[in-house]
Amino acid sequence: MLKLPKNEGLNIVPFIDIMLVLLAIVLSISTFIAQGKIQINLPKSESSISLNENEKKLLITIDEKNIFYLDNKIATLDQLKNAISQLDEKTIVELKSDKNAKFESFVQIIDLLKTKEHEKFQIITEKSK
């Protein structure tokens, strides 16, 4: 059993410091989980429609910083090329590109689809009001 001198109390300041650091970590992680999706500002279109929801799909996203995502995971252009080369004819490729992304990034994806001669794709836009 630990005996403390009568004049000294238990110092809890380090414990409080550790708890505040843990609280800050939990709060920062919880806000990331809440915003976990990729932030994309889609271009607006008046004729925005959706194709059949029951078909197989491959989602390719380009964010504002021209980073490619394959099914919401960061991917390189080579990984996209491999994924597109393994597609069957019935798979729909959905293209989402931020309106501030470089057009060159979008063209690179279209070029990969043309090389594979895959013509079943849709460009996702936001319905204008």
Domains defined for the chain, CATH in brackets: 44-127 (3.30.420.270)
The mean pLDDT value for 66-87 works out to 89
Q: Identify the band that residue 21 occupies on the pLDDT scale cut at 50, 70 and 90.
A: very high
Handedness of CA 62, 63, 69, 72 (dihedral sign): negative
> What is the pLDDT of the chain when averaged over all its residues?
81
The larger pLDDT score, comparing residue 63 to residue 10, is at 63
Going from the C-alpha of 84 to that of each of 48, 72, 98, 111, the distances in angstroms are 24, 15, 21, 11
Residue type at 41?
N
Q: Please, which pLDDT band fits residue 33 given cuts at 50, 70 and 90?
A: low
Q: pTM value?
A: 0.63
Select the highest-mean-pLDDT range: 6-20, 50-64, 84-98: 84-98
Of 98, 95, 127, nearest in space to 114 by CA: 95
Per the structure block, which two tokens stand in for 104?
């060159």
What's the pLDDT score for residue 51?
55
